[in-house]
Amino acid sequence: MTLQELTANNEHFTIHNLPYGIFSTPTKSARAGIAIGNYILDLAKLAELNFFNNPSLNEIFNQATLNDFIALGKAIHQEVRQEILQLLSNDSAFFKEQHPAFVYKQCEAKMHVPIHIGAYTDFYSSEEHASNVGKMFRPNAEPLLPNWKHMPIAYHGRSSSIITTNTNIKRPNGQVLNGNNVEFSPSKTVDIEIELGFIIGKENELGAPINIDKANEYIFGAVLLNDFSARDIQRWEYQPLGPFLGKNFATAISPWIVPFDALNEFIADAPIQLPTVLPYLQEQNRKNFDIKITFEIETSTKQKTTVASTNAKYIYWTVAQQIAHHTINGCNLRVGDLLGTGTISGKEKSSFGSLLELTWNGTEPINIGTEQRTFLQDGDTTILSAICKNEHNQIGFGDVRNRIIS
């Protein structure tokens, strides 16, 4: 088997990517792997075969989360990456002789949430999304609230209900307001939110804010994130303290963590910020990532449509600003913490990042083949995928797909 055979017909997991995940097979328990093409390199087996220079990786890669590996730091991550690149080179005798022992087909593996997520913070970083919501629910006022352009707004989500791809989501029940009556019922307006999630790879001490120009050093990698939302439950409960049951029933992330270093080749200018932000949020080199994210719906009758396509370069508050603001009061971040960008929307309707916006709060149905949708129905499967591409290289996130059930 050659590198060309490994990566054939897969534009996401190229040699320039090498994302980390946790997988299991029918005969082996959950362990660490790297995606290459449509295959998985079993890092635990490679460590058992004494492939790596670092002997501690034998135990670490046999664990069911990546936290301990992430905690080793960037020097070890880069060393492992270089060793894998050498393994996949065309003249690697080790690969030619040993690959049947550590190469698996992705279609034969089960993917798991790759990290233990101790804390999850979801931001509200897209100006277009925040403006759309304001126009819908405060039509006679300014779309953005007075604080929005002064700091990254966020809430703390529920880490226990974070799931990954191919996990069904049960339609949530809760209190909803029907006219003047408060009722208990299944949500009728289950929605998606197109987001990215960033995985914290380095800890700061309690009481020690992270300088914005050092913030990127604290990121291990990124995943796709679908923040499922029950809009009718959320609408009744969110004042005065923000989202609760309308948000905490399911958040899905893609199973492969794209290393932060792999994203640095796909940089885009971030939006200009006016008014000028406070000094602790000012960046010397303000950049976003050029990541095209696509959202599809497949109905229970197998009708499938691309509903929206957006881009991470639209984010107003960068991940560095999110980290700097999150810690400015002395809050400590831990390895494996997850920071969501919030819904990513562009200026055009086709780039809106939620059904709430795409259907304008249910008043403008979208077509899925011969069917129509305002919000998700039972049996619908949501599919998020993402690609980064320039004139030289290409990498992707794979996808995260989840089905709504009753």
Q: What positions carry a catalytic annotation?
A: 129
In three-state secondary structure terms, 43 is: helix
SS3 230: strand
Decide if 245 contacts 284 (C-beta within 8 A). Answer: no
Q: How far is C-alpha 27 from the chain's CA centre?
A: 29
Q: Which helix (H) or strand (E) holds 81?
A: helix 74-87
Both ends of the chain: CA-CA distance in Å? 44
Q: Which two tokens stand for residue 100?
A: 């049947």
| CA dist., res. 96 & res. 106, Å (int) | 20
Strand, coil or helix: what is 17? Answer: coil
Which value, in Å, is the radius of gyration of the alpha carbons in the chain? 21
Query: Going by C-beta distance under 8 Å and a sequence separation of 6 or more, which residues neighbour residue 97?
Result: none
Lookup: tokens for 28? 């082996």
Give the strands of the sheet with 394-405, arranged side by side. Answer: 169-170, 394-405, 381-389, 292-298, 304-311
CB 66 within 8 A of CB 22: yes
Counting Cβ atoms within 10 Å, is residue 225 exposed (0-12), middle (13-18) or buried (19+)?
Answer: buried
Using a 10 angstrom Cβ sphere, with 0-12 exposed, 13-18 middle and 19 or more buried, the burial of residue 142 is: exposed
DSSP E strands in 210-349: the ranges are 219-227, 229-230, 251-253, 258-259, 267-269, 287-289, 292-298, 304-311, 338-340
Residues in the chain: 406
As a whole number of angstroms, the distance between CA 395 and CA 387 comes to 6
Query: What stretch of H or E contains 260?
Result: helix 260-263
Neighbours of 163 (CB within 10 A): 18
